[in-house]
Structure 1
Amino acid sequence: MQRLGEHGLHMPQLGLGTYTLKGAACRASVESAIGLGYRHIDTAQMYGNEEDVGAAIEASGLRAQIHLTTKVWHTNLAPDALRRSFDESLAKLRTDHVDLYLIHWPSPTMAADLPAAMAVMCKLREQGMARAIGVSNFPVSLMRQAIEEIGAPIACNQVEFNILHGQTTVLKYARAHGVVVTAYAPLGKGRVLDNPTLAQIAGKHGASPAQIALAWLLRQPGVAAIPKAGGVANQRANLDALKIELDAQDIATLDALPKNQRNVAAGDWIAWDPPG
């Protein structure tokens, strides 16, 4: 599997998302994914499952091989709160470092909060406790502030991105600055399953619409994806999407689909870049 990244990032292109997974179900999901060969696991403080993720990774005995991402919630961006949150995440994850640490959402006062928060994030990176740092749900205006004004080594921006909701503006800026874009909700929260265009191309390849949506996404330069998949069958199917070879006609048809179906609600203080 291809690995992506600069600025200390070395992330497998396809990972396991864990949003809404908790307890024994979360542990079982992470354990089965690792058993299938996943080496990229994504969690967050807000998900309330860091302990479960950490227990599963510890049980695997493969921590050194696994890229582990977690995120700090936007209410904990003051320097003392951010550092305390990071230490709590490490303890729950049963590790002495994370491979990628992200600001999960912009706060309502993000432009003012960002310099101090980034100073703490950069310190964690310098100390080797976070191998790489980045952001999530950041429009280009905030990415520009972090990278060009503050000078932070942003390695990743994790955003909602799928075949029905595009991120052209974010992708253009990210690629120009060596930033990986990680797609969450890469299957449009299930909407891709009912799309007739995807179904038609899926039939041609003997695949599922979800696999075609992932195959399209994973052929985008500098893009990773973290579909949530609780069961072994879906986890295996997502891995198999890496094997699908879309032809030029497939790609043209998929590129032409409307890309304005946002699924994830957010605070009205975030000035989103136009989809597409």
Structure 2
Amino acid sequence: MTTVPQIRIADGVTIPQLGFGVYQVPPEETRDAVSMALEVGYRHIDTAQMYGNEQGVGDALKDSGLSRDEVFVTSKLNNGFHRRDDALRAAEASVERLGGPMDLFLIHWPLPTIDVDYLETWQAMIEIRDAGLTRAIGVSNFQVPHLERIIAETGVKPAVNQIEVHPYLTNETVRAYNAAQGIATEAWSPIAQGQVLGDPTISAIAERVGRTTAQVTLRWHIQRGDIVFPKSVTRSRVEENFRLFDFELTDDDIQAIAALNKDHRTGPDPDTFAYIPA
């Protein structure tokens, strides 16, 4: 079986560098999709309360026959639960749906423009970790000022910051701050929702190394040290995305792909995003 590199994050916890994401996987399809990913060899699943499919992840884990400590499970706090008491209840509900404590629990969005301060939310996350509901805590979509504030006020650094990163948005300022603070970077939308797959530079590299443009892009993330969790419900793609560890890109390849950056987001701007689910 393919050996996926492990990255050490806070509190002595290690996370597989490659995982399986279930964003936009319909709840009724999640159980089968995750079961398929586990059969292929994935041992890291990334979900969120907002996705509405934690139960499917939990059911697939139960069905798999794998022990709970063999699979790393991440979930994220929904935007409507940023107040302390709400966050604690929401974390307990995630643990119930997932069939046990989480390995990593993230604040999904900082929501800096709403009336609930994300500092209160981060303090609640510390309580959630200390209560044993998750092994490690982190954030998602946090910009450098958001990170600086929660660290200064609590002294607790996130284990992970999950941010949008891909060749058209290399997000180097946040990645560099994460690295300097010992915060692992997780890259969501790693292939820019498919927008980079026809890029001539990536296509040329893919042709030279005999791989697909998706594999080349994901390998670029891996070699730069990012944690990635591509999503597909097609078994051939799920298998393809797992075959990243038997080839390497050159330094010139890495630099050429990074040079494609044009600060293009496929998702919302974390400084202004204020969506609260109904």
Residue of structure 2 equivalent to 1:56 = 60
Matched, 1:136 2:137: no
TM (norm. structure 2) is 0.91
Q: Does structure 1 retain, via aligned residues, the 8 Å contact 2:169–2:262?
A: yes
Letter in 2 for 1:5: R
What is the aligned partner in structure 2 of residue 255 from structure 1? 258
Counterpart amino acid of residue 233 in structure 2: G
- Asked if structure 1 preserves the Cα contact closer than 8 Å seen for 2:107 and 2:122, the reply is no
- On the 8 A contact 2:111/2:271 being kept in 1, the answer is no
Is the CA contact 2:21–2:46 (under 8 Å) kept in the aligned structure 1? yes
Q: Is the 8 A contact 2:34 2:57 kept in 1?
A: yes
Structure 1 residue 210 corresponds to structure 2 residue 214:
yes
Q: What is the RMSD of the two structures over their aligned residues, measured on CA atoms?
A: 1.8
Matched residue, 1:41: 45
Q: How does 1:188-227 map to 2 (within 5 A)?
A: 188-221=192-225, 223-227=226-230
- Of residues 241, 248, 261, the one that matches 1:245 is 248
Q: Rate the CA distance shift 1:262–1:208 in 2: closer, same or farther, 3 A.
A: same
Q: Distance in 2 between matches of 1:113 and 1:36?
A: 41
Query: Which consecutive unaligned segments of at least 5 residues does structure 1 have?
Result: 272-276
Aligned to 1:233: 236
8 Å contact from structure 1 (residues 136, 158) kept in 2: yes
Greater mean deviation of Cα atoms: 208-217 or 147-156: 147-156
The question of whether the paired residues in 1 share the 8 Å contact of 2:91 and 2:133 is answered with: no
CA deviation after TM superposition for structure 1 residue 23, in Å: 3.3
| Aligned equivalent of 2:25, options 21, 26, 31 | 21
Are 1:70 and 1:102, in contact at CA under 8 Å, matched by a contact in 2? Answer: yes
Letter in 2 for 1:242: F
Residue identity opposite 2:175 in structure 1 = L
The percent identity for this pair of structures is 36
Q: Is the 8 A contact 2:143 2:271 kept in 1?
A: no
The residue aligned with 2:272 is 269
Q: Name structure 2 gaps, 5 residues minimum.
A: none
Indicate whether 1:85 and 2:90 are aligned. Answer: yes
For 1:195 and 1:259, the matched residues in 2 are separated by: 13
* 1:99 CA drift (Å): 0.3
1:154 counterpart residue number: 158
